Amino acid sequence: MAKSRPKRGAADDALVVFTPSGRRGCFPQGTPLLRAARDLGVDIDSVCGGRGICGRCQVSLNTGVFAKFAITSEKSHLSPVGEVEKHFAETKGLLPGHRLSCAARLTGDVVIDVPAESQIHKQMVRKRADTRAMEIDPLIKLHYVEMSKPGMDDQSSDLNRLKLALAENWQLEDLDCDAGVLRSLSQAARSGETYGGDWKVTVAVREGKLITAVWPGFHDHVFGLAVDIGTTTVAVHLCHLATGEVVGSAGAMNPQIRFGEDVMSRLSYLQQNQDQAPQLTTAVREAVAKLAATAAFDAGIDLTDVIEATFVGNPVMHHLMLGIDPRQLGQAPFAMVTDESVTLMARDLKLSLNPGAHAYFLPCIAGFVGADTAGVILSESPHGSDELTLVIDVGTNAEIVLGDNHRLLACSSPTGPAFEGAQISCGQRAAAGAIERVRIDRDSLAPRFKVIGSDLWSDDPGFSEAIAGIGVTGICGSGIIEAVAEMFLAGIVDASGRIDGQGVNAKRTAHLVPEGRNFNYLLHVGPPELLVTQADIRAIQLAKAACYSGVRLLMDRMGVERVEHILLAGAFGAYIDTKYAMVIGMIPDCDLAKVGPAGNAAGTGARIALLSRQARAEIEALVKRVEKVETATAPEFQDYFVAAMDIPHASHRFPSLAGAVNLPE
């Protein structure tokens, strides 16, 4: 049905309809499309303020008879392509059929399509389709202006004239100005073609309030840095702030590892070596600075074009990056110094980005549930879904979030480092040469495995050649879980976790090796000889029981017996075969199709916070709503823990496993 036609002010006024918004209105002939769009509240981007420089405002003309709009749209209903558009097309290129909306003027009725690229508030792709979309709306906006020149009749300051231009062209009033901008404003304004400068600059304005940076002339690209500080690795992503595109990434080991492999050992290092926190701070800051430089270099970006940074990390990493001594996190009651979001100048973190760059740390939730978990929530948005979702970030502690759009619970459970391959006799971090997949023949009880760095199984032809440069060096977290699960499924390990090396098993295989009164299982003859020991099984039992009982505690508090969706975050989640995690009873029953990795969810959360003001407000409000459940003081936690030590008779408690594995009697 045709909509009612807007009233024309004059007989020869032109009607314009913008798609996909459908907004429409009548304007005098000669009105630039961009002005019409602005009047109608149609979202079209512009950095240059309608001067035909930036090309952000491109639109395309739909020609034909549009019955539903009751108009005929023709090419001749727009002004011919003029000098400005020709110049732009020649120097920067204009897609066929595209016009600059600041230059094209109405001469008749038209239907104009605004492509997604030309919208200020582009949709941000969240990974889960069932959560509401989020718009790209970075805190930093670029504004190109042409300042008036000073003269004996106008001796007002450079800043005055800049502010005047920003007020006139962009309706930005009452702006503050970072002192760093004052240091570069004079030169930026006075550079350019003519002696004395051409007085054209581009400024970055933060939250519509603060001038944070200035560049000479027209400047189109600014970037943000999303930083994910893990205990083991540090990763950075450089994102284009207007498009959200990741233009560069870099990662490295966290150099703090020399002070301790995991968070607890670093805290105990600090307990024993008073006043050494600044050393750990310097180490991680230098690593971040180096990664930022590497990512920028690889992407061909100048670090001074990086104008905003966001950080996620567990509470200890968070505190150390900020320069806060985290020792109190190692002792009951594990209170953080702050759990609010923190904004400061990037330069105060010794980070050489643009001098006016700000750094934003996502808020934390509780003692061991940090900004990394906030990032996970932002990325996986359990709060945005009807489905009851369980998100587990496995590390030395498992950070666990359970919830839906009604309620969110979180806890931290002390799994210990077994899942990361530590405290396992042949354990190692997930790196080339580490066993990551294990299968055990149900009859011969002989193992076969895969190592990181090769796609072949150990009994495939050519395996030895394939791993010649790598070797078989140890077992990583996902490998040990598969080993334990397969040992259970093959009947080598019983539900109590004991390796049964006698009776029928002993007759079938030479892989069961006695040690005192116990047996170990020989996974790899070597060299090096790799065993799964009875002690390793116990360590995994403790770890998985801690994880499961944390989950159980949250389910209990939520009053549910079942979750609908499970997401395993981080590297561990990426490598593990979720089926085996369920076999050993690390996670509760759930449709296996709905159990999956969350990938680098914390880092994704940092990226989202980089690109969206709304996301920051959302996570800041959310963390206050998250109900923190304390595992250490919950009376039922110990009971759950003890009950969860056994490897479960999966057929009873894990109906979803039916068909996926053959469970032992």
Of the candidates 405, 408, 363, 372, the one whose C-alpha atom is nearest the C-alpha of residue 132 is 405
Taking the least distance from each CB to a copy of itself, the nearer of 227 and 475 is 227
Taking the least distance from each CB to a copy of itself, the nearer of 74 and 146 is 146
Kindly state the tokens that stand for 489. Answer: 């499924």
Q: How far is the CB of 340 from a copy of itself (least distance, A)?
A: 6
Which residue in the block uniquely carries the two structure tokens 């009047």? Answer: 39
Q: How far is the CB of 653 from a copy of itself (least distance, A)?
A: 31
SS (H, E, C) 328-341: HHHCCCCCCCCCCC
Taking the least distance from each CB to a copy of itself, the nearer of 199 and 463 is 199
Taking the least distance from each CB to a copy of itself, the nearer of 153 and 193 is 153
Q: How far is the CB of 278 from a copy of itself (least distance, A)?
A: 10
Q: How far is the CB of 172 from a copy of itself (least distance, A)?
A: 16
Which residue in the block uniquely carries the two structure tokens 């500080």? Answer: 229
Taking the least distance from each CB to a copy of itself, the nearer of 322 and 595 is 322
Of the candidates 233, 326, 332, 354, the one whose C-alpha atom is nearest the C-alpha of residue 603 is 233
Q: How far is the CB of 273 from a copy of itself (least distance, A)?
A: 16
HSE-CB for 11 with a 13 A CA cutoff: 0
CB 429 within 8 A of CB 421: yes
CA distance linking residue 248 with residue 468, whole number of Å: 32
Q: Which helix H or strand E contains 17, and what residues bound it?
A: strand 14-19
My answer on whether omega of the bond before 417 falls inside 30° of 0, hence cis, is: no
Q: How far is the CB of 381 from a copy of itself (least distance, A)?
A: 24
Q: How far is the CB of 199 from a copy of itself (least distance, A)?
A: 11
CA distance linking residue 223 with residue 303, whole number of Å: 9
Q: How far is the CB of 463 from a copy of itself (least distance, A)?
A: 50
Q: Interface residues with a copy of itself (CB under 8 A)?
A: 150-160, 177, 179, 182-183, 185-187, 190, 322-325, 328, 332-340, 342, 344, 348, 364, 366-367, 628, 630, 632-633
Taking the least distance from each CB to a copy of itself, the nearer of 13 and 339 is 339
- Rounded to 10 degrees, the C-alpha dihedral 607/609/615/620 comes to 140
Q: How far is the CB of 151 from a copy of itself (least distance, A)?
A: 5
134-172: b (≥16 Cβ within 10 Å) or e = bbbebbbbbbbbebeebeeeeeeebbebbbebbeebbeb
Residues 6 or more apart whose CB falls under 8 angstroms from that of 509 comprise: 444, 445, 446
Taking the least distance from each CB to a copy of itself, the nearer of 100 and 214 is 214
Residues 6 or more apart whose CB falls under 8 angstroms from that of 273 comprise: none
Taking the least distance from each CB to a copy of itself, the nearer of 1 and 152 is 152
Taking the least distance from each CB to a copy of itself, the nearer of 152 and 468 is 152
